[in-house]
Amino acid sequence: MEFAIFFFFAAVAVIFALVVVLHRNPVVGALSLVASFFALAVMYVLLEAPFLAALQVIVYAGAIMVLFLFVIMLLNLQHVAEPVTRPIQQFLGYTTAAAFGVGLLYYIVKYAVFEKLPDGPFHADAHTIGITLFEAYVFPFEMVSILLLAAIVGALLLSGRTYQKREAT
């Protein structure tokens, strides 16, 4: 039963990822990425981490992709002509990625096949994550909050309202 769910949503994730990479229209690509993230959230539930599955949908599918869609729609990017990649770059890109992928799969099958899981329940709930976050990882936590502040200030400055149109040199 779990295998059926796994294979179905794995297929959904891979198919929509292919649509993202291969389709011309960036809006369709963005929506396919949302579907792929949703399928990945189901994967996280299968990995016994429902808290992170909900976070994945809230943060990635619900906030980051909305940002992508806003940018695409407000800049009217679906009407700009899609640049065509030169054939030599396409060929080299596909072969490099294929070689990389085959190597990665080989090493996974060779070294990363585990027989069994350890006994006992896996506590991946908010309580355990909260305690670990505020005891062992409190310094990175505070640093990430400062980093988010820097990101907000940077994004506001870069796309600010009093934008002077500089000439293309």
Partner 1 sequence: MIPTHYFLILSAILFTIGVVGVLTRKNGITIFMSIELMVNAVNLTFLAYARQFHQVHGLIFVFFIMAIAAAEAAVGLAIFITLFHHRNTIDVDEANLMHW
Partner 2 sequence: MPFDATDIGLSIVKIAIVLFMMLNITPIMVWVERRGSALIQDRPGPNRVGPFGLFQSFADALKFILKEDIVPARAHKWLYTLAPAFGLLPALTTIAVVPWGRSFKLPEKVWFGQRFFEGRPLFEPVVADVSAGILVVFALASLAVYGITIAGWSSNNKYSLFGAIRASAQMISYELSLTLAAVSVLLVAGSLRLTDVVWHQTGYFVLFDTVKIPAWNVFSPAMWISFIVFGVSAFAETNRLPFDFAEAEAELVAGYHTEYSSMKFALFFMAEYMAMGTMSALIATLYLGGWDIPWYNEPATWQGFVLSALFFLIKVVFLLFVFVWVRWTIPRLKYDILMKIGWKVFLPLAVLNTLVVAAFIAAGWI
Q: Which of 88, 139, 159, 162 binds partner 1 (CB under 8 A)?
A: 159
- Residue 94 binding result from partner 1, partner 2, none, given CB thresholds of 5 to 8 Å by partner type: partner 1
Say which DSSP state 82 is in: P
Residues 67, 147: Cα–Cα separation, whole Å: 19
- Residue 169 binding result from partner 1, partner 2, none, given CB thresholds of 5 to 8 Å by partner type: partner 1
Angstrom CA distances, 83 to 86, 88, 130, stand at: 9, 15, 46
Q: Which of 137, 127, 121 is nearest to 51 (CA)?
A: 127
Interaction between residue 56 and partner 1 (CB under 8 A): yes
Interaction between residue 73 and partner 1 (CB under 8 A): no
> To the nearest whole angstrom, how small is the minimum distance from the Cβ of residue 45 to partner 2?
9
Q: Would you tell me how many other CB atoms lie within 10 Å of the CB of residue 40?
A: 19
Per CB under 8 A, residues contacting partner 2 are 1, 27-28, 31, 34, 41, 50-51, 53-55, 57-58, 61-63, 66, 69-70, 73-74, 125-126
Find out whether 20 and 40 touch, Cβ atoms under 8 Å.
Answer: no
